[in-house]
Amino acid sequence: MRNIADKLSLRGAAALSDEELVAVVIAESPSDDAAVVTARAVVAECGGRLAGVAACDLARLRMVAGLGKAKALRLKAAVEIGSRVAQSSAAAHDVIASDKDVVRIMEPLIGALQHEECWVLYLASSGRVLERMRISQGGVQSTVVDCRLIIKRALELLAVQIVIVHNHPSGTPEPSAQDITLTERVTEAAALFDIRLLDHVIISHGNHYSFRGHNLVK
């Protein structure tokens, strides 16, 4: 553990591996070598990457390698700090030019959730984001979206473009029949008010699916 602490001091946090970062968070002291072993077990149990640790619920996390409640809480708090920093950074550059921009802005917010949430980005003609709004949240496999709420807020903001974004906790970003139907309904409703549905992006565990990229949105 002292080697990790020295590495952190000399080279910065960016030089640490996922396991080393977790070890630093859960270690009781710079000489807590057991933290390194525990950290390896935690990352391995959560799919071998930090995104898995972020997605792991507290009850499961505290049981891994005897991590315990206090250390699990510290780890979840550290993950949340990182998520909020990423959100703040994204908010400072909220201009949508492609589906990659959508992912950059929204993945820190919904990428690791264990339930589905549907958000809408309301855009000016320049692509600048006027507002991010959560439209609905639901269970593991689906959420119910009211198209009227989407269009109502677009009119209030005088938005000329919108992007639908939601997550798939299942791990596969491919759209369901319900996702395709929602896209079609919003496209038609928005067109009545000269509002363009620019894209519908599904985010799932480091992957994403763009309806526009697959020519399902014009």
pLDDT in tens, 175-208: 999 999 999 999 999 999 999 999 999 999 889 9
- Mean pLDDT score across all residues of the chain: 87
pLDDT of residue 129: 93
- What letter does residue 176 receive in the DSSP assignment? P
Which has more pLDDT, 199 or 43?
199
Which of 188, 206, 210 shows the shortest CA–CA distance to 197? 188
pLDDT of residue 113: 86
CATH for the stretch 93-210: 3.40.140.10
pLDDT (average), residues 126-152 = 83
Contacts of residue 120, Cβ cutoff 8 Å, sequence gap at least 6: 132, 133, 135, 150, 153, 154, 162, 163, 164, 165
Above pLDDT 90, what percent of the chain?
42
Instruction: For 52-64, write each residue's pLDDT tens digit.
Output: 788 788 888 888 8
Q: Is the pLDDT of residue 76 over 80?
A: yes
Percent helix, percent strand, percent coil in the chain, to nearest 5: 50, 15, 35
Q: Is the pLDDT of residue 31 over 70?
A: yes
Question: Tokens for 115?
Answer: 């339930």
pLDDT of residue 142: 53
Q: Is the pLDDT of residue 114 over 60?
A: yes
pLDDT of residue 197: 97
Which has more pLDDT, 76 or 93?
76
Q: Is the pLDDT of residue 156 over 60?
A: yes
List the domain boundaries for the chain. 2-87, 93-210
pLDDT (average), residues 117-134 = 93
CB atoms within 10 A of CB 68: 15
Q: Is the pLDDT of residue 146 over 50?
A: yes
* pTM of this structure: 0.63
Please report, as a single letter, which amino acid is at residue 108: P
pLDDT (average), residues 27-43 = 86
pLDDT of residue 140: 47
pLDDT (average), residues 42-70 = 83
Question: Tokens for 90?
Answer: 């994204």
